[in-house]
Amino acid sequence: MSDLEFFFVVLAAFYLWECAGWVSIGGMALVRWWGRWSFLAQPVGNHRGGFVLAQPFPPLGSLHVLAPLPVSLSPEGVLAYVATTTSRSGRPFQTGRFVAWNEIQSVAARRKVIRVNGARMVTTPSTTYARWLANELQTLAKLQPEQRTKAIQQFIQARFDESRIRQLTTSLADRLQPVRWLANLLLVVVFVVAPLVIWSRGLVSTWHFLLAGTFLTSGALAVLFWRAHREFFPSAEDERFSHGLMIALFPAAAIRAGDALSRPLLETFHPLAAALGLCHPTEFKQLARRLLLDMEHPALPLPTAHDPKLAALELWSRGATLEAARALVQRGGLNHAELTCPPVPAEACCRAYCPRCHAQFIIIEATCGDCGRMPVVQF
């Protein structure tokens, strides 16, 4: 292999790396390759999270990373623990710290970590998510107690606003149209046109034209990215600068400029709301069933069980989330009671089932190991 061939192999490897998106444990990713519908991508990784691959070929598709709310909210305070999970990989690490609203003096986001009164509260999937959640917690802490209950309910319901999701994705698609055209053009130039031109005409007589064309296109993509990012994420100045610089200087990053905009666009919404607008109805139905069952019967053990105060707080927050999720499912044309109804015995010997995952058992006194040794329910 010549040095030039090795260069293109390395460049292709870097490009595939740019196509990969990191999803923290507990999170989800919606990926669209070809066609209208996105699909739920299963991350490949370890106990901290995994990578999902965005569409590496034209027309490049889209990638949305969705994050669960890492805190439980109630009129009494905020708890850094959530019993439910949107991922099959289990719950992420949670501090379990509780702070009453009247004890909150300061809320600060430092990179991905939110600190309350100077002490670490939660670690979020991204810096933009950390800033958003810190601002929301500050707003709730400043409210009067009689206003806070309704404000928390509205905050939870806003995470299930599928109409807002459709509005954001439509607006972003309009802004991304020129970005997609230039990104696809740059992909063809870098991995098709450039090798053919160098092979037929030689590197010495063509490198300056190829280099100029590549960086002109990357520069145009950086300008378009900067404008769109400032519109959708006005407070994310550090991310805008770092991504914009990478796009301007590195062709592999420039081709994936659209992902840098779409990846954090919906991270503050509940994954179920995003799935309603972006996924096929069949996949939305399957996800709705799994998440509703998890909200009704979270996996054991529950660390809050030993403290009645914290258990009541977590139950209140989960109940408000479940109510918003059921309303969303209803708006999606489904009946939540039918989705979560007990399964039909698969065989005559099946006598019980797990209320969370609906696995079936022949022993009534059994427990479900996949759900934290949850007691089964008799048919």
For residue range 102-160, list pLDDT tens digits in order: 999 999 999 899 999 999 999 998 999 999 999 999 999 999 989 999 999 999 999 99
Residues 125 and 58 grouped into a single domain: no
Residue where one domain finishes, among candidates 262, 292, 316: 262
**Burial letters 269-286, b for 16+ CB under 10 A, else e:** bbbbbbbbbbbeeebbbe
Specify whether 49 is located in the same domain as 166: yes
Same domain, 62 and 198: yes
Quick one: which of 169, 195, 321 has its CA closest to 258?
A: 169
pLDDT for 158? 96
Dist CA 70 CA 129 (whole Å)? 11
Residues in contact with 133: Cβ distance below 8 Å, sequence separation at least 6, in sequence order:
69, 70, 71, 109, 114, 122, 124, 268
Looking at the structure, tell me whether residues 359 and 217 fall in a common domain: no
Mean pLDDT of the chain: 91
pLDDT at 222 over 90: yes
Q: In 3-state terms, what secondary structure has residue 138?
A: helix
> Is the same domain home to 119 and 197?
no
Is the confidence at residue 87, as pLDDT, over 80? no
Q: What is the mean pLDDT of residues 169-177?
A: 93
| 45 φ/ψ angles, rounded to the nearest 5 degrees | -175, -135
Task: Report the percentage of the chain scoring pLDDT > 90.
Answer: 70
Of 244, 262, 280, the residue at which a domain comes to its end is 262
User: Given 221, 241, 262, which residue is the final one in a domain?
Assistant: 262
Nearest to 128 by CA among 262, 295, 273: 262
Give a yes or no: residue 290 inside a domain: no
Burial 179-189 (b: 16+ CB within 10 A, else e): bbebbbbbbeb
Q: Count of domains in the chain? A: 3
Task: Calculate mean pLDDT across residues 97-101.
Answer: 95
**pLDDT of res. 268:** 93
Q: Does residue 171 sit within a domain?
A: yes
The residue written with tokens 């007691």 in the block is 375
Q: Is the pLDDT of residue 55 over 80?
A: yes
C-alpha to C-alpha distance for 196 and 186, rounded to whole angstroms = 15
Instruction: Quick: pLDDT tens for 247-269.
Output: 999 999 999 999 999 999 999 99
Is the model's pLDDT at 29 over the cut of 80? yes
Say if residue 126 is exposed, middle or buried (CB neighbours under 10 Å; 0-12, 13-18, 19+): buried
Residue 273 lies inside a defined structural domain of this protein: no
Same domain, 237 and 370: no
Q: Are both 189 and 255 inside the same structural domain?
A: yes
Q: Return the pLDDT at 280.
A: 93
Does residue 224 sit within a domain?
A: yes
Assigned domain for 299 exists: no
* Greatest distance between any 2 Cα atoms in the chain: 79
Give how far the C-alpha of residue 270 lies from the chain's centroid of Cα atoms, to the nearest Å. 8
Domain that holds residue 372: 343-379
Whole-model pTM: value is 0.90
State whether residue 302 is helix, strand or coil: coil
Task: Report helix, strand and coil shares of the chain as percent, to nearest 5.
Answer: 55, 15, 30
Q: What pLDDT was estimated at residue 89?
A: 66
CA 227/CA 222 separation, integer angstroms: 9
Do 82 and 54 belong together in one domain? Answer: no
